[in-house]
Amino acid sequence: MLSDCLFGSMQGKMAGDEKFVWPSQWVEWFLEICVDEKRNGHFVGGFFNDPGKANLMRRMNEKISPKTLSAQQFRTKWDLLKGDLRGWKELKHAASGLGWLNGSTISATEEWWKARLQVLCY
């Protein structure tokens, strides 16, 4: 499935290694906080520095209270989102002649999708 392949970033792990799906609101908050921390100079050389990591964890955990996430869970989320971005860029630039619906959705034949996802996902 497209969502399983390209959008694995919605998945994560909680205590006990059980998988869960991050609510879309959590992902939105996470990204907003990441952008804020980058603007505040806490993202250097492709990584969050220690104050940036601490702020990210504190602010996100405040939003999702009473649940809390570990540093490893934040790192996993970041890595999955980076993978999604790479997949989107590859998909977006994969072929010429594709159409766009409403400026945000790729329009292609079922055959094209099947072939492209085979390359991206396996």
What are the tens digits of pLDDT across the range 5-23?
Answer: 444 444 554 444 457 678 9
pTM of the model: 0.69
Of residues 32 and 6, more confidence is placed in 32
What are the tens digits of pLDDT across the range 49-106?
Answer: 999 999 999 999 999 989 889 888 888 899 999 988 887 777 777 666 677 777 777 7
Q: How far apart are CA 93 and CA 87, in angstroms?
A: 10
Q: Using 50, 70 and 90 to split pLDDT, how confident is the model at 2?
A: very low
Distances (CA, A) of 75 to 19, 43, 79, 104, 121: 15, 14, 6, 28, 22
